[in-house]
Amino acid sequence: MSMEALQEKDRWDLSGLYENDNRWREDFERLAVFPKEMEAFAGQLQDAKKLLTYLKKKDEADRLVQKLWNYAMLHADEDTSNMNYLSMRREMEGAVARIEAAGAFFVPELLALSDEKIAEMLEQEEELRVYTFALQSILRNRKHYLNAGEEKLLAYASECLSAPQNVSDILRGVDMKFPSIRDEKGEERELNEGSYPAFLMSTDRRVRKEAFESVLGTYTRLANTFGGLLISSVKNSVFNARIRNYATALECSLGEVNIPVEVYHTTIASIGKGIGALQKYIRLKKQILGLDELHMYDINVPLFELSEDYVSFDDAVVTIKEALQPLGEDYVEKFQEGIDSRWIDRYPRMGKVGGAYSAGCYDSVPYILLNYNGKQDDVLTLAHEMGHSMNTWYSTTNQPFVYAGYSLFCAEVASTTNEVIVSRHMFAKEKDPIKRMHLLALQLEQIRGNVFRQVMFAEFELYIHTQVEQGRTPMADELCAKWHELNEKYYGEALVVDAGIDAEWARVPHFYRDYYVYEYATGYAAASSFARMIMNGEEGVVERYKGFLKSGSSDDPIPMLRKAGVDLTTDKPFADVIAVFTELVDLLEAEYNSMKK
């Protein structure tokens, strides 16, 4: 579908950011004055009024950065052939680096002040008190910050230290070429990272196997290169942790948002107790697919051939609104307002990036990019991304700018809560046995992918960091051996762990963001708990949940979630999600056996 063929209601309205590129350029030029203005406050933060003025100036700069960045990014993603917006994004990267370098003096100067002096300034200047939690979040990590010159040096070095990630991205996205394969009709098809997942879902096993061997065979041949890049990235992480006086990179990464290290280990241990349920599901998949052997290239194929009826976008909205009624009239009305006010760019077209995401800023609505194709999966994707956007809307309308953004640790909670509620609603309404089993399989795959698989990733990430921290430099063959071992541990004997899978770690860009992947599992566990309580109509849960959505980053993630009713320092949320997974496996098995009779 071309851009010209789309109706106005099908495209997002980005005029809420800027009316045109010229307006963007005016603000971009205005951004250039901020580094000099910010640097002028160096050496003056012991004065309460000067501290307040600096914080307001920094907020002003950050708000402008968000607005400029989102305009360039969203336009670039709706038409990747437009080099103008790609250039604007590149300009923003440099501008952000200059602003970060200009503000490098702030934290060291703040840390030079005593707690008593900070308390005195908060008492003196009433407007400063809104920043109390933000200031305390810095002060509690006093021993982990460097002096002003050292912080500025690190800020300038950030682009250099990100080289391993940047090079790996270029390798995967541009330079790597995979051998072509023959599709279901025997026609030669080019393979790339974008098309690979679709080929793994082909109902033709030959196609799946050829795609698997083509892509992972290429990664295997380049495993030494990717291994060098990944271990260099991990060494950067360990370097950063050590110069900031952390015992480990894990402590450093989690300490930035005050997550106890025990949460990471609890996540791995608790989900590990559910591996038996995962292996039962794998055995059931093998049975349903009717295969003598289930290989790694079979694991993503849909269990049921579904001739789906097309679900129009408007019908998807109706279904989602029905499902979300338990969240209250205000929630559903704001959801509809987002549809009517053109938050969403709905349909795929030539040049538009694939996938889906939610993005916005304090001075705009929370936009959504979709590639809606009218399938059941697309209905759930809409629900998921609207969960993100609703979280953003509640947060930005209830918090000052400094606390409007929510932490990565909490980022997937609202979106997944929406998705779980909607998927259960769709299953309850569906009468067709094949479609019911398909919906069950979708839920199971969500948990397999977001919980079990991500925790397996988390184990791998802990392994490679620990190796480097112990003075070792694991080579590619060791990384491959560990990856193979973990796949065998999680999937068991029902799945043939093909040697080709051993280099799959090289495909995972998330490993270049320290200790991030486990948050998919914690987020899903929290969301599953919220969804269960909401659907069960537990007293007070909707108010507590909305309180969480409104909180932004005004508190640390763990106490914020605990206040809403989910405590991730215990194994209960993880035990609950395993119980749900087990129940869904049993239900799928019962429905399948019933259909065979």
- Average pLDDT (194-223) is 94
Does 102 map to a domain? Answer: yes
pLDDT at 249 > cutoff 60: yes
pLDDT at 1 > cutoff 70: no
Rounded Cα–Cα distance for residues 309 and 312 (Å): 9
Does 531 map to a domain? Answer: no
Residue 597 burial (CB count, 10 A): 4
Q: 370 with 344: CB under 8 angstroms?
A: yes
Q: 417 with 531: CB under 8 angstroms?
A: yes
Parent domain of 390: 313-419
- Average pLDDT (389-405) is 97
Last residue of a domain, one of 161, 188, 217: 161
Q: Please give the distance of CA 311 from its chain centroid, rounded to a whole number.
A: 27
Rounded Cα–Cα distance for residues 82 and 21 (Å): 13
- For the stretch 7-19, what's the b/e string if a residue is b when 16 or more beta carbons lie within 10 angstroms of its beta carbon? eeebbbebebbbe
| 38-52, 305-319, 338-352, 437-451: least confidently modelled range | 305-319
- Average pLDDT (105-131) is 94
Tell me the backbone φ, ψ of residue 378, rounded to 5 degrees. Answer: -70, -35
Q: For strand 357-359 and strand 344-345, is the pairing parallel, antiparallel, or unpaired?
A: unpaired
Going from the C-alpha of 428 to that of each of 177, 319, 409, 437, the distances in angstroms are 45, 12, 31, 11
pLDDT at 281 > cutoff 80: yes
Does 217 map to a domain? Answer: no
List the CATH number of the domain containing 98. 1.20.140.70
- Average pLDDT (253-274) is 95
Last residue of a domain, one of 419, 442, 467: 419
pLDDT tens digit string along 504-529? 999 999 999 999 999 999 999 999 99
- Average pLDDT (165-179) is 87
Q: Which helix (H) or strand (E) holds 42?
A: none
Rounded Cα–Cα distance for residues 389 and 344 (Å): 10
Q: Residue 136 carries which DSSP code? A: H
State the residue for tokens 């790339």.
192
What percent of the chain has pLDDT above 70?
A: 99
Positive or negative, the CA dihedral 533, 534, 536, 540 is positive
Q: 421 with 534: CB under 8 angstroms?
A: yes
pLDDT at 183 > cutoff 70: yes
pLDDT band at residue 403, thresholds of 50, 70 and 90? very high
Nearest-5° angle of CA 494, CA 440, CA 459? 50
Q: Which residues fall within 8 angstroms of residue 101, CB to CB, at 6 or more apart?
A: 35, 152, 155, 156
pLDDT band at residue 4, thresholds of 50, 70 and 90? low
- Average pLDDT (13-21) is 96
Tell me the sheet residues that pair with 367: 359
Going from the C-alpha of 375 to that of each of 64, 313, 321, 421, 493, the distances in angstroms are 38, 10, 17, 18, 33
pLDDT band at residue 306, thresholds of 50, 70 and 90? confident
| 138-147, 232-241, 485-494: least confidently modelled range | 138-147
Does 537 map to a domain? Answer: no
| Annotated active-site residue in 385, 412, 469, 519 | 385
pLDDT at 462 > cutoff 60: yes
Per-residue three-class SS string for 469-504: HCCCCCCHHHHHHHHHHHHHHHHHHHEECCHHHHHH
Rounded Cα–Cα distance for residues 40 and 34 (Å): 10
Q: Which helix (H) or strand (E) holds 36?
A: helix 34-39
Does 583 map to a domain? Answer: no
Q: Which helix (H) or strand (E) holds 128?
A: none
Q: Residue 5 has what pLDDT? A: 60
Does 285 map to a domain? Answer: no
Q: Residue 456 has what pLDDT? A: 98
Nearest-5° angle of CA 469, CA 472, CA 476? 115
Rounded Cα–Cα distance for residues 137 and 255 (Å): 10
- Average pLDDT (537-564) is 97
Does 561 map to a domain? Answer: no
N-to-C CA span, the chain: 44
Please tell me which residue, 5 or 417, carries the higher pLDDT value: 417
- Average pLDDT (343-367) is 93
Q: Residue 6 has what pLDDT? A: 73
Q: Residue 194 has what pLDDT? A: 78
Q: What is the mean pLDDT of the chain?
A: 94
pLDDT at 40 > cutoff 80: yes
Q: For strand 188-189 and strand 357-359, is the pairing parallel, antiparallel, or unpaired?
A: unpaired
- Average pLDDT (353-359) is 91
- Average pLDDT (549-567) is 97
pLDDT at 82 > cutoff 70: yes
Rounded Cα–Cα distance for residues 454 and 272 (Å): 12
Q: 66 with 362: CB under 8 angstroms?
A: yes
pLDDT tens digit string along 367-382? 999 999 999 889 999 9
The question of whether 213 is a catalytic residue gets the answer no
Does 56 map to a domain? Answer: yes
- For the stretch 268-293, what's the b/e string if a residue is b when 16 or more beta carbons lie within 10 angstroms of its beta carbon? bebbbebbebbbbbbbbbbebbeeee
Sheet holding 344-345, edge to edge: 344-345, 367-369, 357-359
> How many structural domains are present in the chain?
2
- Average pLDDT (527-547) is 96
Last residue of a domain, one of 419, 442, 465: 419
